Amino acid sequence: MSQLEALRQHTTVVADTGDFRQLAQYRPQDATTNPSLILKAVQKPEYAPLLKDTVTRFKAKPVDEQIDRLIVRFGCEILSLIPGRVSTEVDARLSFDTMASFTRAERIIELYQAEGVPADRILIKVAATWEGIRAAEMLEKRGIHTNLTLLFSFVQAVACGEAKVQLISPFVGRIYDWYKKEAGAKWDEAANAGAKDPGVQSVHRIYNYYKHFGVATEVMGASFRNKGQIVALAGCDLLTISPELLGELSASNEPVPRALDPEAAKRLDLVRAHYDEPHFRFALNEDVMATTKLSEGIRTFVADAIKLQTLMQETAA
């Protein structure tokens, strides 16, 4: 049995890609996308006709709507290949605007529904800022399910759970990146691998807290740098994995023991946490890694959204 098949016994496997032609061989339940992944996909020759067709059909529409229609087109293609849900991201430029994020999410759902896709197959991705969490809370009350992304800290996870969002995506690899960069020459890879990886430890803490207190929000580990991080999170509700790492897991037969267990979490001695807005902002501000990676992640997604916008405008010219 491959590591990928062994992982499926403990965890729902999700594909993290905009390149839907890669999906069939790995049989994921769900899939996730983001502006960077969509940009990467549309720059490949095989997706040029899809980009051109979308731009040609909707060139009279505002460019922000053209982008939404493109990402929905990718989402529909992905959904034709998987049995579950696809995560589609709201423009990161709206990360600090609750109502704009809410409105944009509603439009994305309407575009999917116009293509015959029911809302329950979509997760709207929103950055886990205070404003993004509030937008997600409003969307959940409307029956639109959400995936809170760019999540790097316990305080973000607690706030998301209190908002009753459907799912969170703690970013394992980017946490690892930060600590490795900070340590510089002092970094010891072996001492920070597997269960000792700081990104893995962050997800363990969040998962155990949710299961201990019966928080219904799903935990989906994301942003992996190596398959050791994935194996160390076997048992997490979901794990979203790049095609490259799915390939590595498929090629290996090493064991995959369960690392996270809801019953074990219930036996832990934990304290319930709560963060109103001032305490959320202060706690996040005190976490240098989370503050740095959240702002950096938003900037990166915004930059790629702008590149995608430029590409669409050039295609229309």
Q: pLDDT per residue over 47-83, tens digit each?
A: 988 889 999 999 899 989 999 999 999 999 999 999 9
The model's pLDDT over 129-151, given as tens digits with 9 standing for 90+, comes to 999 999 999 999 999 999 999 99
Picking from 255, 285, 293, 311, the residue whose alpha carbon sits closest to that of residue 10 is: 255
Active site residue 61: no
Yes or no: say if 246 and 4 are a contact pair by the CB < 8 Å rule: yes
Tokens of 262: 């809801």
Tokens of 310: 């430029």
The Cα 69–Cα 57 span in angstroms is 10
Provide the pLDDT for residue 35.
83
Provide the pLDDT for residue 84.
97
- Scanning 232-276, the segments in alpha helix (DSSP H) are 243-251, 262-266
First-to-last alpha carbon distance for the chain, in angstroms, is 51
Look up the CATH number of domain 3-316.
3.20.20.70
Whether 317 shows a pLDDT value over 90: the answer reads no
Catalytic residue among 125, 211, 227, 293: 125
